Structure 1
Amino acid sequence: MKLLADLIRGHLKKIRSRRRALSAGKIATIVLAVLRCGLQPGDPAGGNRIHRTTVTRRVGEVVGLLAARAPRLDRALKRIARTGGGVVLLDGTLIRTRRRTGKENRKNYSDKSKYHGLLLMAFTDDRGRLLWASAARPGRTSEITACRHDPLTAKLRTAGLGAMADLGFVGLDDSCPDTDRQ
């Protein structure tokens, strides 16, 4: 909470915002309520005497501020290799979203999971701490396709790391010959 409030305070100073109806701490509380608890922007807006669009705008600003702090993939992998890690865990998850109308509906529908969503790929360390998360992709994208689109195996190889994943990733890295087969 304090980190987020400090980020907001620094951003307001950077853009030279003279006056805001709410303090940086209050903005952080409202944004976290919307993001974490799934509140509609109008709910915290009414209680704080601000407009719903103001809450929506603040959420967008804060998401941008947090995304700018996220580590790039190559830096995250180098840090793991430097600290002595040899393997990262690779997995994807489909985050549910609302159904869109028209043709936009089709690309977010996952036939595998039978609901609409956005696919995120993530690396974690051996203790399960999040190291990196990819940009959101349409829900119809398979995990292995998302990994091939961002050449994750090549980036892992250049960092000198291996990956553990579930059976959905079989065949992802076919460039290495299998020495066990005769």
Structure 2
Amino acid sequence: MLTYPGVIDLPRATLDFLTGLLVDDHDRRRTWRKLPPERQALLVLAHLRHGDTYERLAAGFEVSVGTVHNYLREAVELLVTRGRSLLAAVWTFAWTRSNFLILDGTVVRTNRVRALNRLYYSGKHKYHGINLQGLTDPHGRLLWISDGLPGSTHDLTAARAHHILDTVDRAELYLYADKGYVGGEGTRLLVPHKKPPKRDLTDQHKNDNRAHAATRSPGERGFAVLKNWHIFDRYRGCPRRVGNIAQAVLVLTENQH
């Protein structure tokens, strides 16, 4: 088998942050690992950033596939505990000078799950996946990301399931969202005007929609940054883990400096 040196396009601070979490956790639990914490952290980042498979990581780090699985699960669970809940993210933001958030959804592509074929199939995107909801600030910085729901879940249904609309409304913040959230509850939910049946939008409504799109556009950068992590190109593990992995990556992204 051939091996070669590789590069992970992340700052040293990201590796140091994850290494510190692993060191503290190992010391607290008084556990031992075959790889030192820094090497374990490097293995985890190679998987999340580049999407390297368990088999490639096992060969490269000279451990078993089972050990790779355990190392990854341990690190992801540690990172998730460092993330903010929806309530904490919204109320922390409510203390800033801005008065609105941007809501958007995405579907992370996964392998087909035969037993759950229809449930995980997204008719909108035409592939199997997991629906994730995210909140960004007016500058496009991702503040919170949800647990995963099956890809067939409509964005508005997902937002209701995660109590996003109610939480933002109680914080007295406005919420910009696309047409997928039309019909949502709350007086502070701002969505584009939909074209009436057999009629065109008025000029005023067209201008309103253009202004709405311009305000909402930075929110698309939130998921774009997340998808720079190639684990999300096509997730091949258990679909139920996609939400946790996305939350872990968000924590790493916030600690790159």
Name the residue aligned to 1:12: 26
**Dislocated runs of 4+, deviation >2 Å:** none
How high is the sequence identity, in percent, across the aligned residues? 36
TM-score scaled by length of structure 2: 0.65
Q: Is 1:172 matched up with 2:184? A: yes
Q: Which amino acid aligns with 1:130?
A: L
SS of residue in 2 equivalent to 1:122: strand
Name the residue aligned to 1:114: 126
Pick the aligned partner of 2:100 from 50, 74, 87: 87
Q: By percentage of residues, which structure has more strand?
A: 1
* Residue 36 of structure 1, CA deviation: 1.5
* Residue 176 of structure 1, CA deviation: 3.8
Q: Is 1:104 matched up with 2:79? A: no
* Residue 133 of structure 1, CA deviation: 0.4
The alpha-carbon distance between structure 1 residues 159 and 176, as it changes in their structure 2 partners (threshold 3 A), is closer
Instruction: Give yes or no for contact 2:155–2:180 (8 Å, CA) kept in 1.
Output: yes
Name the residue aligned to 2:87: 74
Instruction: Give yes or no for contact 2:131–2:153 (8 Å, CA) kept in 1.
Output: yes
Which has the larger displacement, 151-160 or 108-117? 151-160
* Residue 150 of structure 1, CA deviation: 2.1
* Residue 158 of structure 1, CA deviation: 1.2
* Residue 151 of structure 1, CA deviation: 2.2
Q: How big is the alpha-carbon RMSD for the aligned residues of Structure 1 and Structure 2?
A: 1.4
Q: Which amino acid aligns with 1:111?
A: G
Comparing both chains, which one has the higher relative contact order based on Cα–Cα distances under 8 Å and sequence gaps of 6 or more?
Answer: 2
Give CA-to-partner distance per residue, 1:84-121, whole Å, 9 cap, x none: 221001000000011112x2222111111110100000
Q: By percentage of residues, which structure has more helix?
A: 2
In 2, the alpha carbon distance for the partners of 1:122 and 1:151 equals 12
SS of residue in 2 equivalent to 1:88: strand
Structure 1: runs of 5+ lacking an equivalent: 178-182
In 2, the alpha carbon distance for the partners of 1:12 and 1:105 equals 39
Q: Which amino acid aligns with 1:116?
A: H
SS of residue in 2 equivalent to 1:121: strand
Structure 2: runs of 5+ lacking an equivalent: 1-14, 189-257
Counting only pairs closer than 5 Å after superposition, residues 9-158 of structure 1 correspond to structure 2 as 9-17=23-31, 19-101=32-114, 103-158=115-170
TM-score scaled by length of structure 1: 0.91
In 2, the alpha carbon distance for the partners of 1:106 and 1:63 equals 28
Q: Which amino acid aligns with 1:63?
A: V
SS of residue in 2 equivalent to 1:78: helix
Instruction: Give yes or no for contact 2:86–2:164 (8 Å, CA) kept in 1.
Output: no
In 2, the alpha carbon distance for the partners of 1:83 and 1:2 equals 29
SS of residue in 1 equivalent to 2:34: coil
In 2, the alpha carbon distance for the partners of 1:112 and 1:154 equals 26
In 2, the alpha carbon distance for the partners of 1:100 and 1:53 equals 22
